Amino acid sequence: MKTAELADRFLRYFEKRDHTIVPSASLVTDDPALLFTVAGMVPFIPYLSGVVPAPFRRAADIQKCIRTNDIEEVGKTPRHGTFFQMLGNWSFGDYFKEGAITYAWELLTTSEADGGLGFDPKDLWVTVYKDDDEAARLWRTIAGLPEERIQRLDKDTNYWSTGLPGPAGPCSEIFFDQGPAYGIDGGPATDDDRYVEIWNLVFMQYAIDDVTSKYDFRIVGELPQKNIDTGMGLERIAFIKQGVQNMYETDQVRPVLDLASELSGRRYGADHGDDVRMRIIADHVRSSLMLLADGVTPSNEGRGYILRRLMRRGIRSMRLLGVDGPTFPELFAASRDAMKDAYPELGTEYSRLSAYAIAEEETFLRTLAAGTTTLDLSVAETKKSGGTTIAGSEAFLLHDTYGFPIDLTLEIAEEAGLTVDRAAFDTLMLEQRTRAKADARSRKRALADHGVYREFRAKGETVFTGYTDLETESTILGVLVDGVSVDRARTGEVAEVILADTALYAESGGQVADKGIIVGPGYELEVLDVQKPVAGLISHTVEVTSGEVGVGQPATSVVDAVNRRAARQAHSATHLVHAALRDTLGKSATQAGSLNRAGYMRLDFTWGQALSSETRTEIEEIANNAVRDNLEVTTRVVSLDEAKSLGAMALFGEKYGDTVRMVDIGGPWSRELCAGTHVVSSAEIGLVNLVGESSVGASNRRVEALVGLDAFRDLAAERAIVSQLTSTLKTPRDQLPARIAELTASLKAAEKRIAAFEARALTERIPALAANAETVGPHRVVAETIGAASSADDVRSLALGVRDRLGSEPGVVVIGAEVGGRPVVIVATNEAARTAGARAGALAKVAAATLGGGGGGRDDVAQGGGTDATSLPAALSAVKAALGSR
């Protein structure tokens, strides 16, 4: 049975039983404690916790998930995957344990001919929490399971909580017995791979607090509304029903594995190590494709870093299979073909998605080449010094700076007959992970605070009136100080204020929050920020500038009209620039992020190379022509399907409901889904002045523009500069570029003549410096400071000239100079000195230690530096002392 059919059977079963079928949420979650949707329940957290009233009593879904905490296990076990799909059925105060157990057992054991999944009851085991007598009784009566196939386990496996105060409850897991060929008898309690967990039923019935760990807490009492949260892994069900050995061999994953085998010439099943690598490739390519489809792009932080890591692990695995060249064009296309029936956007958006993947592979292949060169130098230096181990810090530098995988470092070192100080590397990695975990914990604390909004959200959604009104009368629903709900806030305090209605725009869709005030009888609040802490609720961060504000008081939100007008101009200008980009570059140039604030806009878009000045001018001209043409700006609230049928741009990574707000500028020319505020007609924008274009990733560019009065002021400032230049240089404006180029060429020629003069002057000092050589131990030593020098290269040339002048006896030259305000020391040794034990690199480090910096180099010539130029004489004395001690 194909994976898609299994998913369809699940949804049809629950749809017939009055469950609302909910589409999958994005892999990118709003939860501040998480980077990704790591479990099927994540999108339902607001409903399960009661912060947001559930819009349905019962639901079913197939949720896309990404989980990387077990990434090292991918490919090694039958069921660990970074991307997976979780089937779930949900009850919010409707059916509970009996209903959940009945539905699960019926769907699993009903024959395939009758629409079920066709499992033989004798192959199924269940576990329950050790004290959950009710669940055990229900499994006996509903499923007819014998007592020995109902195993009672402890909290570590059969109790669910978030690890935070809030809802919790026991769970019951269903396992499939693969048979004696796969392991020992004894049921799931043996924790043996023979028993595959396929479905987890969570009975969310208690409230907990005093949480010290995920399994150590105090049960406060029963929840007023008991919920059901279930999760069944689609990939696990698929590999069992398809009769294959693991999830990597299922129909949605196997095509990539087979292609990796073909491209590498390695047969799958012939070698365990190669098999693991092919599974990693199949999993990571699919996971990367799905992340790209949900708007994540490769970067060095956050979600983008995880995506980059997945891609690079895949590239590394291909390399370990013997393939050094690019393979992503073929591998990603194979994953698209395997997955597009379930996720059609993979087909329609593939050119955009593949551009990121191909660019990332090209970049990393260059990184591997650079890292290999660096590692080769490290190998050579280690061998030259007689060592057998590459320092852990070197391996960590390769990993952290170059993205060079540790496994590859180990492999290359082994080929060279060396080892790597893995313990030191692991220590540095642990320190880095500890910092990351501390950051994750801070995000989790932010999530815990969301429960305080529950009572306010339960009163309904905040009504936003700001599309039409700049002032709105309302009522204070809540006041929070330091995250705690209070009755009132007083003058000087910073607080959060919840209103029933507001004219103030909350930051979203790239548009920053409005500025303004909230006023009422006897008080005034300055609005510092406006956000949506949970779906449907708007919160105002305010400073109480006068009086005292309390719950239940009337309140009027007042928008700063001048700031709003400029913000509207900037947001509408963003739409114009986006449309102009697509007119100029083609439909593959799509928005990947934006920021709009009063007078300024920036737009990130998918494109792989810098824009020429001519292209920038063309984009700017198209946008300003649209301003000149005074295009009508219209907004409509329509269904998402209708908006898409009309060609509206839906931005990847954004989340949309069943109904959306569609903004047209000039009809279909610019048609986007957008909840921001906009001008009434394009002429109100005034002026768009592109002031910057830059790279923000391998396949992303960024344009920045000033808008309206800010654009005019910037052009006026440039006009003033041009006027000053024409006056100073006594040159007409149209001749300024040629005149400045002429002056620049003259300046460079003069600098070149000065440098040549200074170099000659230094060369002329060689005889005198050599004549001052003194005997230190077995060496003739010249140690002098020469004052200021133009460059370190000039000092190096002088030191080498003096060394050559010393002849064949052991000679060491140490020249100190001040270059650009910083001290530089060059050490040069001849062959006789090196034979006598003098090494330039070691001596440069001695000098650098005195200068407060670092140094090193080859045995014949090396450089040191630092920050304290006054220490140059002391640094030279330290080098002489080091020579004298030999």
Return binding residues: 571, 575, 674, 678
CA dihedral over 296, 301, 305, 306, signed as positive or negative: negative
CA distance 224 to 205: 8
The one-character DSSP state at 141 is: I
Q: Which residues are part of a known binding site for Zn(2+)?
A: 571, 575, 674, 678
CA distance 804 to 830: 8
Using an 8 Å Cβ cutoff, are 666 and 554 in contact? no
CA distance 195 to 184: 9
Q: Are strands 516-520 and 554-559 parallel, antiparallel or unpaired?
A: antiparallel
The one-character DSSP state at 143 is: I
Helix, strand, coil percentages for the chain (3-state, nearest 5): 45, 30, 30
Listed residue (345, 353, 341) closest to 251, CA to CA? 341
| 3-class secondary structure, 558 | strand
* H-run or E-run covering 428: helix 422-448
**Amino acid at residue number 633:** V
Q: What is the side-by-side order of every strand in the sheet holding 591-597?
A: 591-597, 600-606, 700-707, 688-695
Q: How many CB atoms lie within 10 A of CB 2?
A: 15
Using an 8 Å Cβ cutoff, are 290 and 271 in contact? no
Output the CA angle 20-24-28, nearest 5 degrees: 145
CA distance 197 to 707: 57
CA distance 265 to 604: 40
H-only helix segments in 242-349: 254-264, 272-293, 302-320, 328-339, 345-348
CA distance 581 to 569: 18
Using an 8 Å Cβ cutoff, are 130 and 156 in contact? no
**Amino acid at residue number 704:** E
CA distance 575 to 670: 7
Token pair in block for residue 676 = 């921001």
Token pair in block for residue 373 = 């060169």
CA distance 16 to 33: 35
CA distance 169 to 150: 18
CA distance 698 to 359: 6
Listed residue (742, 721, 722, 741) closest to 732, CA to CA? 722
Q: Name, in order, each residue with C-beta under 8 angstroms of 558's C-beta and a sequence gap of 6 or more.
A: 470, 471, 503, 516, 517, 518, 519
Listed residue (215, 208, 311, 321) closest to 263, CA to CA? 321
Q: Name, in order, each residue with C-beta under 8 angstroms of 753's C-beta and a sequence gap of 6 or more.
A: none
